[in-house]
Amino acid sequence: MTDTLTHLDRLEAESIHIMREVMADAAKPVMLYSVGKDSAVMLHLARKAFYPSPPPFPLLHVDTTWKFKAMYELRDRMAAESGMELIVYQNPDAKARGINPFDHGPLHTDMWKTEGLKQALDLHGFDVAFGGARRDEEKSRAKERIFSFRTASHGWDPKKQRPELWNLYNARKAKGESIRVFPISNWTELDIWQYIARENIPIVPLYFAALRPTVERDGLLLMVDDARFPLNEGEVPVERSVRFRTLGCYPLTGAVESEAATLSEVIQEMLLTTTSERQGRIIDKDGGDASMEKKKQEGYF
């Protein structure tokens, strides 16, 4: 056979190799599942890696209670389909204090996501957590390892990363340390879309354009996904044909106006688009240029 593997074949094989390699040294691994397209691809790869066994770890959704309704639906469906245990964690402090994106700004992400993640990992004693981050997303991630070490307090020290040569990963760690593993580090946004198309992977319908009730805030188009959305005086949601390029908490995720209703059209739009993927996300912007890096040192995924 002289046919060469395509770029998607090679990326797939690499990701599967990484996931299986984790099983050699991990005591209690878990897969962080955020229900977005990257998570969808990562889950699909996990099912491929261990077939005919189900993936030998649970899915963990660190929930903020503010995700889109459609995300919760797909999450429950995919957990059932994959035969994996689904752990949903909601930070009880954030819940008790009623932390929300409208009133609390950056504290919302900090408490629900950053703190929530640490609490969930500690509570269950997970020593390895798979995450769906990609290196092409953001400057500081371009330098992050596939196996990324966290101290007992979940900190990330960019100066103490282990070199990764060939396909050899050193997953040894001291008691209390944990590892975040990013099996799709080398995938780009286009790769993700092409793979979703090739493998027919179910994704949240919000990625496709449809008429949705929206309001415009600070230059972002926000979807009014439920009655908790506090409308300003005189503000009336407008039905617009929109879709989302990334998914997170609905009050923090900007939609783009679009008519792309199929996967091909979405990819077409992505290829012709002129703004980068994370632009619709508020989270990168607070704290300036090094903000993601700072968040990561504090323990945000």
Partner 1 sequence: MTDPIYVTDALIAEDIDAYLARHEQKSLLRFITCGSVDDGKSTLIGRLLYDSKMIFEDQLAALEADSKRVGTQGQEIDFALLVDGLAAEREQGITIDVAYRFFTTEKRKFIVADTPGHEQYTRNMVTGASTADLAVILIDARKGVLTQTRRHSFLAHLLGIRHIVLAVNKMDLVGYDKTVFERILLSYRSFASEIGITDFTAIPISGFKGDNITALSSNTPWYKGPTLVEHLEGVEVAAQRDVNSNFRFPVQWVNRPNLDFRGFSGQIAGGSVKPGDAVRVLPSGKQTTIERIVTLGGDLDEAVAGQSVTLTFADEVDCSRGDVIAAADNPPQAADQFEATLVWMADEAMIPGRAYWLKLATQSVSATVQAPKYEINVNTLDHLAAKTLELNGIGVVEVTTDKPIVFESYADNHMLGGFILIDKITNATVAAGMLHFSLRRAQNVHWQASDISREMRADMKNQKPALLWFTGLSGSGKSTIANLVEKKLHRMNRHSFLLDGDNVRHGLNRDLGFTEADRIENIRRVGEVAKLMTDAGLIVITAFISPFRAERELVRAMLPEGEFIEVFIDTPLEEAERRDVKGLYKKARAGQLKNFTGIDSPYEVPESPEIRIDTTAITPDEAADLIIDRLLG
**Interface contacts to partner 1, rule CB under 8 A:** 1-2, 4-14, 16-17, 20-21, 23-24, 47-54, 135-136, 139, 142-143, 158-159, 161-168, 170, 172-174, 185-186, 188, 190-191, 194, 197-198, 264-265, 267-268, 271-276, 279, 290, 293
E strand or H helix that includes residue 150: strand 147-150
Q: Alpha-carbon distance 270 to 277, whole Å?
A: 9
Q: Alpha-carbon distance 185 to 137, whole Å?
A: 9
Q: How many CB atoms lie within 10 A of CB 243?
A: 21
Is the Cβ of residue 54 or residue 230 nearer to partner 1 in the bound state? 54
Is the Cβ of residue 27 or residue 166 nearer to partner 1 in the bound state? 166
Is the Cβ of residue 116 or residue 280 nearer to partner 1 in the bound state? 280
8 A C-beta contact, residue 197 and residue 263 = yes
Token couple for 123: 């509570």
Is the Cβ of residue 59 or residue 111 nearer to partner 1 in the bound state? 59
Is the Cβ of residue 46 or residue 252 nearer to partner 1 in the bound state? 46
Question: N- to C-terminal Cα distance for the chain?
Answer: 41
Residues 6+ apart with CB under 8 A from 278: 137, 138, 246, 284
Residues 6+ apart with CB under 8 A from 149: 156, 157, 160, 161, 162, 173, 177, 178, 179
Q: Alpha-carbon distance 213 to 204, whole Å?
A: 17
Q: Alpha-carbon distance 117 to 178, whole Å?
A: 13
Distance of CA 7 to CAs 29, 51, 262, Å? Answer: 28, 22, 23
β-pairing verdict for 86-90 and 59-63? parallel
Is the Cβ of residue 65 or residue 136 nearer to partner 1 in the bound state? 136
- The distance between the two most distant Cα atoms of the chain, rounded to a whole number of Å, is 67
Q: How many CB atoms lie within 10 A of CB 279?
A: 14
8 A C-beta contact, residue 116 and residue 94 = yes
Is the Cβ of residue 39 or residue 140 nearer to partner 1 in the bound state? 140
Is the Cβ of residue 232 or residue 274 nearer to partner 1 in the bound state? 274
Least distance to partner 1, CB of residue 258, Å: 14
8 A C-beta contact, residue 29 and residue 55 = no
Least distance to partner 1, CB of residue 177, Å: 8
